Amino acid sequence: MLRVEARPLLLGLPPLIDSRSTVLILGSFPSEMSLAKQEYYGNPHNHFWPIMEALFDVDRAASYRERTSALVEQGVAVWDVIARCSRKGSGDDRIREAAANPLIALLEGHPGIRRVAFNGGMAYRTARLLAPGMFGLRGVRYERMPSTSPRNARMPLGAKVEAWGRIKD
């Protein structure tokens, strides 16, 4: 008898954004640890917060509320391409039944966003698949950045900081 393992539907996190936002960083979907903490990039081995510290002077040791407030104050918004999905574990390669967040509506509602930075190839490919219309918006520049995930260990932190530095232009 074939046994099918049911996976619960997982819901992502709300966007970190306000009217000052000029850059939107899009991940694919939060890890198990991030969902449990209800924090973007909650895995201490993820390089996201060290990169934001290097680029925007956001203290990675500060509380989550302080870090996110400081980042949004700098004009940086954070969200994910995927709103909900099923997944076993934290790997993007295990995502199933994905549904996109309303990315076009978010960008149209925040016309100050002029750049979208995808946190890794999976976020970029997923956006191309689930929300292709967003790439037609005028005046918005899209760029795939190196993943900050601990799985992207082949690229050292310094190289990631240098690459991510383009979002400050």
Cβ proximity of 129 and 70 under 8 Å: no
* Total domains, the chain: 1
Whether residue 61 is contained in a domain is answered as: yes
Choose, from 43, 46, 101, 119, the residue flagged as catalytic: 46
Give the structural domain span for 55.
10-168
pLDDT over 90 at 88, yes or no:
no
For the chain, give the mean pLDDT: 90
Q: What tokens appear for 16 in the block?
A: 């970190």
Q: What is the length of the chain?
A: 169
Q: Is 142 exposed, middle or buried (0-12, 13-18, 19+ CB in 10 A)?
A: middle
Other C-beta atoms closer than 10 Å to the C-beta of 111 total 12
Residue that is written with structure tokens 């918004």 in the block? 77
Whether residue 5 is contained in a domain is answered as: no
* Tens of pLDDT, residues 97-156: 788 999 999 999 999 999 999 999 999 999 999 999 999 999 999 999 999 987 777 889
Cβ proximity of 139 and 114 under 8 Å: yes
pLDDT band at residue 19 using 50, 70 and 90 as cut-offs: very high
Whether residue 47 is contained in a domain is answered as: yes
Helix (H, G, I), strand (E, B) or coil at 75: coil
Mean pLDDT, residues 46-51 taken together? 96
DSSP string, 54-66: HHH---TTS-HHH
Whether residue 149 is contained in a domain is answered as: yes
Whether residue 2 is contained in a domain is answered as: no
The H or E element spanning position 20 is none
Whether residue 119 is contained in a domain is answered as: yes
Give the residue from 157, 139, 140 showing the smallest Cα distance to 149: 157
Whether residue 72 is contained in a domain is answered as: yes
Mean pLDDT, residues 21-28 taken together? 97
In this structure, what CATH number is given to the domain that contains residue 32? 3.40.470.10
Active site residue 101: no
Spatial neighbors of 88 by CB under 8 A, at least 6 apart, are: 5, 7, 94
